Structures are given as structure tokens and as C-alpha cells.
Structure 1
Amino acid sequence: MTYYPYLRARQYELLALRELLTGGLLYRDVVPILEPVRDMPQLHQVMRLFREHEGSALGVVLNPNVGDLTSGIDLDTKLDIYGRSESEPLIGMAGTVFPVILLNKDAVEVAERVQSTDESLLQDDGIVFVSESDRGRIGDLKKFKFHALALSDGERLKRDLKRNGIHTERILFSDPFIKRENNAAYAQDDYADEFFSNDYMWYEEEGYAGFGDYSIVGDNYTERGGMPKAVALHIVYFDDEWTLHIHHFVSEVSDDAHETPMKFIETVNQLEAWHRSREDSPYEHMTLGMQTLINHAKTGTYPGLPTIKKLSIMHHLELMGWFLSERPDR
């Protein structure tokens, strides 16, 4: 059973992975995939950590669709960023950093480069991402042997794979996080608590080798920042049927950016009260991310918006690892 969370390798996402891995809280059933949006020291640090950490695995997209690495950089330079120039490109000493290829216009050339470096990189661990919009390029995959395809649960995609004679493991991928127009919208009664996912309950029955999603960030990529009028915390949890839901804790709304720290304290106080009402439930699990958020409620401290996202992602990944590794539903 393997869960593949897909992250864009922004700084707060890299820090989330680093803290979970070094704290022994990134379970082996959780295999992150990074699509780097820019070259930064933290990316190399995280890749090095995964290489050195016994039994860990990390996928790195070699031909990203978004961010600074999508254009203006030649392929040789791009592959150097991911470690091609090192003595053991992508392969770890104790853990594994494996190639992930998006089925875009660069996919064939990137796959050929990886295969010429080491055929086993694709065949043993490599993953190719296929979406509905990629269906016209599926035939390009026929000459490559790779570990798995990650795709949506679309019948047309399945037919196209079969028609092209591509038989490999498949990973079910979805984007369950619903992006609202602004943080304040999550406070509406219809949105405050939502179904998130139950893919982990049935994907094996449909012949998938694993499942994945875009965590509590969503697939929609933006570099837009700024101070929000309301602060929102997005926390996933299991209900009494082990279905994953997401609860949105939202502060009051105001135009004053100086009130952001107070708005955050308001949301974590809501989180602490909500957790207290559930802490004796077998469906509740205290994670490092949640504990750190609750500690901020107790101390009245504000860590900044990127750290809030980092802690929410940490909570999600640790919670899924706990569920998949210990299977408390069985």
C-alpha cells in the first residue's frame, strides 16, 4: 500500500518533508513526489536527506509543467539541477530518489536521457504522469519500460493504454482539495467540513498499485501571496467510518494586515477545542503538525503563513502514514 503525495517543492513543503523525515515520522508507505518550481538549496538538501535515509523514497519530476524550470533552461542544465552531475545521479546510498516524468513535450527526450544513464532507474522505480490532456502522447511511451503510470480514474485513459499495448502498474491520482475564491468562503456552512477522499479504501480492488493526491494545497499552482483577509487552517481527519474529511477553521474577516497574527490565534483556538472534543476517539491521531499548531494556541505565538501551511501538510502526511502502516480500521 503506497500513498504518493504530490508537492511543488516550495520552501514550506520541503521543510515539511525534512522535519517529518528527520523526526522519523515519514512512514515508508508515504512516498512524496516533488515537482520543483525553482532551483534552491533546500531542494538539494531534501534530496540528499532522502538518499541517506535508510528505506526512504522520493520522486522528483525531471520535466516540470510549472515554475521557473519550465522554459529558458536547456535540458542538460535542468538535469544537472536534479543531480545528474553527481557520481550516483538520483540513486540513493540508503534511500532512493527516483525519476518522475510528466507526459509533456519534453517527456520522450527526458526518458531517453534517464534510460541511457541507467535503464533500471525507470524500470524499477520510475513513474510517468498521464492526464486526460496527454492522451495524444500515450503512444510515445511504448518504447520505454517504467515502474508505474499515475493517472486519473478515466475509462478513456485505460482504453488508450490498452490500445497502445502499455501494460504496467497504475497509480490512482486525484485532486480532492476544493479551492474556494478566498479563505472566508471556507467558513460557509456547506464548506466548513467536507469529504476529502476514500481512494485508499478501494484502489486495490480496481487494480491500482497505489494512490496519490495534492495534499491540502491542491493542483492549482500559483505564486500569489499577500496578507489574506481571513486566516484558514485546513485539517484532514478520519470520521467514524474511516473516511477522510477536511475541516476548515476560519478566522473573522478584516482588511487590516496587522491583525493576521490575532486571526491565526483565533483559528488555532478553534482547532484546539475541536481536537479536545475528539481526542478520546480511535479515529483521532495526534500528529507533530497538529501538536505544534495547538502549542501556538497555548503560547499565543504566530509562526507566519508559510509555517502554517507546512504544519498542515505535515499533519496530513503523518496521519496518512499512521493509517496505512497501522491500519487501525482493521
Structure 2
Amino acid sequence: MERAVADAVAVLRTATDRDWDGTRAGRLEWSCRHTAEHIASDLIAYAGQLAGRAQHAYVPFEITLDEDAGNADVLDVIETTGALLAAAVRTAPPGVRAFHPYPFRSAGPEGFATMGIAEVLLHTHDIATGLGLSYEPPADLCEGVLTRIFPHVRPGETAWPTLLWATGRGELPGRAPVAEWRWNNTLVVPAERLTLEGVTPAAALDLSAGGDGGLRWVEGGPFTGTREAAGMITKAYLDGVHRPEWGMFALVRREDGRAVGAIGFHGAPDEDGRAEIGYDLAESARGRGYATEAVRALSAWALARDDVRALLATVERDNVPSQRVLARAGFVQVPDVDDLFAYELRP
């Protein structure tokens, strides 16, 4: 966050003597001045949501600048509100989420930080375009925005043009112009002792490469199946077919914030409304009912949707513990699939 703000402010300070009020900000209907004030408003709003742990709506306040505040003063406010958001993110306890409407009604610290960075990058571009300034943010910041809150967007050759295209600010060869867009925060499904936290493409890439995906794991985690599933998510993202709500979820224990395993779908529901699930636990977390709890929670979420008519799970014939998990979660055995035991759950 601090780097995004510092780079943006450094560029815009070169033109504080210009008429920001009378200059349109790129393709926006707003003036450059209004757009700059909007950046500050969003940063403080995100900080307020996260610090106040708002759960059902935006905290009802807004920022107002002094009447005699000049363009340089507005940039001071952007630096200040950016620092406040960064502090709110750093000090937020693990697992904290607060209200944000798109698309699952909440976001965590990483989500609010990434949205803040996106506001800075994109609206600095708008202002710079209006003022005729040259601006291109660091590639890693652009890639971080794409892999965290644009998981549904197929990556392009370079991150900045892809982000501009994804937000209706540019063109990419072979892709239709974007007229409407929204970013996508991760889905979280609550369970009794666990929280099922959506895994972003950024986290999946790290997990598949042998990292921790930004999670604190119990001993022996993540297990092989989790890393393999992360590789599937990464491939789907790179191919442009990843749908976040039908991806992978980390199983995070509420008592200590440690990940014990993962669960997820093999893809979106097919034309018959059937989706397949899979799950995996670290060896040290087995035998405690975590898998059953996770399967029940994710199944309830899926079957409450209009586009899901059945859930399928396949298990190796000698994997008795997993067969028991599915039975306890209400699945019933159906004809085998590819020499694997198959189980199905319907509403």
C-alpha cells in the first residue's frame, strides 16, 4: 500500500499547479480533482470498515476536505489515508473480515489492502491521463491486484495492460472491450470449528510451488492433495476458466488460525447441475472430525444455490476413513466412477 501511494503521489506532485477541477480524468466523467478526493475517500472508508469490523453495511461516515485545500493538500490526504489503511491491515487479527458488497458481502485484510491498491493505481492512471502525465505502476503491484481480486480474469502478457483492460480502461488483442466490471473478493464459508476460506490464484500458485499460500499450517501441512489441487486452480486461472466460488478453500481452525487442510470443487456445476468435491487434511489434523465438518458446510452452501442439483465425490476403494466422512455428511453410494467408489448428495 505504501509503495503504491508513494509512486502515485510522486507522479501527481509534478502537476499540482495545473487546473485539476477543470480537467477530466481520463475516461471518467469526474474531474481530476474529484478523482483524487475519491482515492482518499476510498482509502479511509476501507480502513474504517476493517478497523471497525463492520459486518452489515458501510460505516456511515465520509471524509471532507477543507474548502481552501489545494491539489498538493489533496495528495497529503491520500498519503495519510493510505497510511491509515496500511496500519489497519497490519494490526487486524487473523481471520477478521468486514463488510464489502462485492461479491460475497465481506473482505479480509488482504482484500481491503488489495482494493486500496487498485483504487490508487487505477485512479492515478485516470488523473495522469487527463493531465498528460506518464504513469505506469510496478508490475508486481498490478499482478498482485489481478491474482487477488480479479481471479476470473485470464492473465495477459503483462499485468498493467491487463488490469487496465479488465477495468474498462484499455484494449487487449483478441479480447472484447470491457464495459462493466467488478472485482472479486474471496468467499468464506463458516463452520463450527473451522472457517472455509477461499484460496486466491496468488495463494494457489504459492502452494503449488511448495509455499504456504500465506497460511499458518499445522504440523505436516499442507498435504500432497492440497498442493495438487492448488496446481489445478493455478492452471484454471492461467487458462481463464477459474470461477472463484467453485475453486479451493483452506480449512482454517478458529481456535488458533492454523490451516488444517483444504476442500473444494473440481469445477463449476455441469449442465445437469452436478458438481464434484474433494478434500484433504494434514496427517496431524486427522481423526478429529474436521473433514466431516468441512464437507457438511460446503455441501450446505452449494446445495442452497439454484444452479446445484447434486454433489458428487469419488474415493479410492481402500480409503475407508474418507468413505466414512462422506457417509457421516449424508452422501449415499452410487455406481462407481472410473473404478472409484462414488458418493452423491442431493438437496
Normalization by structure 1: what TM-score? Answer: 0.25
Which has the greater radius of gyration? 2
Q: Which has the higher contact order (CA 8 A, sep 6+)?
A: 1
Relative to the length of structure 2, the TM-score reads 0.24
